[in-house]
Structure 1
């Protein structure tokens, strides 16, 4: 495939003469893309880069992937950037927004708003780092491939990332089983045992997880994000127009603080910060989304759109609901702060699509990881076979069963968000992307890049070292704070027991 740069690497080779031979599945396309990228020298830690930009290289490799899977019944490189934006909106405009009022009540309004903007900027930066790495390696299918590459291609890094990846996604599925049961208990007045409601949510979610491409799921994602936006806007409006929040006047008039209350401890403060961080941090899914884009170079358009929307929606909802419910009457999620039962049920009901869909999205990402490894190089990936569909459905069933178990064993919302943030966001939100930056700049400019690039090199190096340290803080201090909060909650009898029939509704 001649590209006009005069390099022998750009001249037709024997492998190019076989371009017209289309393999039966996406895996063969990925292997071919990997060979092409290696030959052009764009890979981290590989041969030196040539005159091409990584954008040019990725476009050629992605184009080859699309060409090679053109005759397949199931095609993966089909997502446009607006559809990818819909997936991102459904991931970020979610139920966890309703934890912001509680976080602001702990941190104070001013620090809470500042941290919201700071975390959004950090996530935007690290997401662009993730995208840049994926552009250099268009054969990446998920964050597990990426984890292996940035840690010097060690297989142990792949398996470590894979375990964290599956656990993170399954915990999120479990969170949505928990909240689904909370919703059903709230609406029906606890007409069924809570364990039964969790099982019903898991079953419905399993059925909705069956589509096999993100292109198909993007249609449901748009619907989910829209209804979530309506839900949080209604809750915000209702908080403002109702006479009093739930529980009033037991603790006096609502108190709104600009700074944290005197005596706010590390455990409470760290949990509130991690609740904010958890809502923003979603880079774990980005490599999977980029792997199914027709034009991955357009990914930043989707990323900027969702980041701007996040900052406005999260800040407004958090600040306004907190302003009307005060420090004393806040719950997580904040629907429980609404004193009017009709307002509570109406606003919470619009959250149904995201309660189902976001769990579906993470289940689909996990299922892809498992399915692609089991059926690599087989017709079951690219064709509608009985074995393929039964296996896909079976993998999803196992994932939703594990999610149901998690929902019953860890039956609390706010601390579960913090626990996931501490254990998983430490790596997938911060550490991975600092290391990815080091690897790319070292490949581009040599081992002493931070010296040879002048002030820009030093600033980039020091900033990404700090980024990794933030991840370490999450992993150590965050885990301690969350575990201590859970222990305190059990001592105060704030949680129901495991596999309990007790009503967890508002």
Structure 2
């Protein structure tokens, strides 16, 4: 539900173009990952790939592992934050926000205790269904509501001096800052970029050769749903009343609670998915070659629980230190998606084609070689753009939020509800 906000910042045309562009790049790089994993069935996760890409460097493995675990834990923190927002909405800020973050953390920890993906695969289908219902309801409610939340008919009397009928722009508004535009772009990118988990899934598939079919289906569905939801909600809400996530733009509190409630399974599932992936990564390496790895032992279960607890404690801290939904998305996207969404897979393409045709493969393969080479250099460059200017814009946005004092400070009881 960050797409309507991103479109309001970027303008409808650039927003839709970037949505399609990011989706296409993610699909392309995901196919590179799929090809790489088929060639190297021995890889178990993105850390093994990172080590291979940088010429079997042990340092590369450890650095990739650190980014991998931080990426997953930041995502857990995001879901702790959104869970607290949901509880604040449903209870009308019935308790200190820190308590709500803690409740979300504890529930997520308990739900992440199963040690196999078998249970999670069933939850994945359920959460995807409920997410679709949630965004569909929010879109319908945005269309049928008489006016957006905080609406005022006087153009000069709204929050920040902006009121009147909703204003929808095809292009960015005059005075849009680089920080705002970059944050909106990173929000779009984060929603699509999830390649970091693909090697772990492919490694556990019975027939990984069929994986590419799911990539095409998922990408097409994502582009259609995200574009329609983002465009329609933005069109009926306008720049003056847009929020992130967009649930807060609904003027009817019942509509807001109903649509947000259908998002709860996804809030829980995605958090426990990334927690489980992190815990499996650590657990399998701690107990590789021991009977604790594949058997139900006291030591194994205590260790598994301790690892999960550690990730959720760190996630709780992240949610409290960066209590801003859009800015937390941007920081995650710039720091980790730069590598796991772009840089790694551009390098992977060059390494694979070099292994097939030699280091000058782009010359031997004609126009296809040059096209692939230039495209993947551009993907690597895009990753470094995320890492440099993207991180700068994200951090500056967080500092501005703290200066504005909209939600208090870190570890604040202030209401962060929609």
Category of TM-score, reference length = shorter chain: over 0.9
CA shift at 1:335, angstroms? 0.3
- The yes-or-no answer on 1:187 pairing with 2:90 is yes
User: Does the CA-based 8 Å contact 2:402-2:409 persist in structure 1?
Assistant: no
TM-score, with normalisation over the residues of structure 2? 0.97
Q: In the alignment, what sits opposite 1:400?
A: 312
Matches of 2:296 and 2:343, distance apart in 1: 39
Gaps of 5+ in 2: 153-157
Equivalence for 2:122: 219
CA distance in 2, matches of 1:227, 1:299: 24
Moved more, 206-215 or 394-403: 206-215
- What do residues 202-247 of structure 1 show as CA deviations (whole Å, max 9, x unaligned)? 1110111111121221011111111111000000000000011111
Greater Cα radius of gyration, structure 1 or 2: 1
Match of 2:264 among 352, 355, 361: 352
**1:380 pairs with one of 276, 287, 292:** 292
> Which residue of 201, 215, 236 corresponds with 2:104?
201
Whether the 8 Å contact between 1:409 and 1:498 is mirrored in structure 2 is yes
Which of 389, 395, 402 is 1:483 aligned to? 395
1:416-455 pair list within 5 angstroms:
416-455=328-367
Residue 135 (structure 2) aligned to one of 228, 232, 235: 232
Give 1:36's aligned residue: none
Task: State the distance in 2 between where 1:415 and 1:453 align.
Answer: 43
Partner of 2:155: none
Residue 503 of structure 1, CA deviation: 1.1
Mapping for residues 328-347 of structure 1, pairs under 5 Å: 328-347=240-259
The correspondence of residues 31-42 of structure 1 with structure 2, limited to 5 A, is none
CA contact (8 A) 2:407 2:414 kept: no
CA shift for structure 1 position 460: 0.7
In the TM superposition, residue 381 of structure 1 has moved relative to its aligned partner by 1.5
**In structure 2, distance between residues paired with 1:184 and 1:151:** 45
Contact 2:33 2:345 in 1 (8 A): yes
**Structure 1 Cα separation of the partners of residues 27 and 367 of structure 2:** 22
Larger RCO, structures 1/2 (Cα 8 Å, 6+ apart):
2
Residue of 211, 216, 225 corresponding to 1:313: 225
Report the equivalent of 1:497.
409
Q: Which string of whole-angstrom CA distances, capped at 9 and with x for unpartnered residues, describes residues 249-303 of structure 1?
A: 1211110001111111211111111100000000010011111111111111211
> Take 1:374 and 1:361, find their aligned partners in 2: how far apart are those partners?
20
Contact 1:194–1:503, Cα closer than 8 Å, also in 2: yes
Could you tell me whether the CA contact under 8 Å between 1:209 and 1:364 is conserved in 2? Answer: yes
The equivalent residue for 1:99 is 2
Residues 322, 398 of structure 2: 8 Å contact kept: no
- RMSD over aligned Cα atoms: 0.8
Residue 496 of structure 1: CA displacement?
2.3
Indicate which of 357, 363, 368 corresponds to 1:456: 368
Once superposed, which parts of structure 1, at least 4 consecutive aligned residues long, lie more than 2 Å away? none
User: 1:453 deviation in Å?
Assistant: 1.1
* Structure 2 residue corresponding to 1:389, chosen from 301, 325, 332: 301
Tell me, in whole angstroms, the C-alpha distance in 2 between the residues paired with 1:174 and 1:466: 31
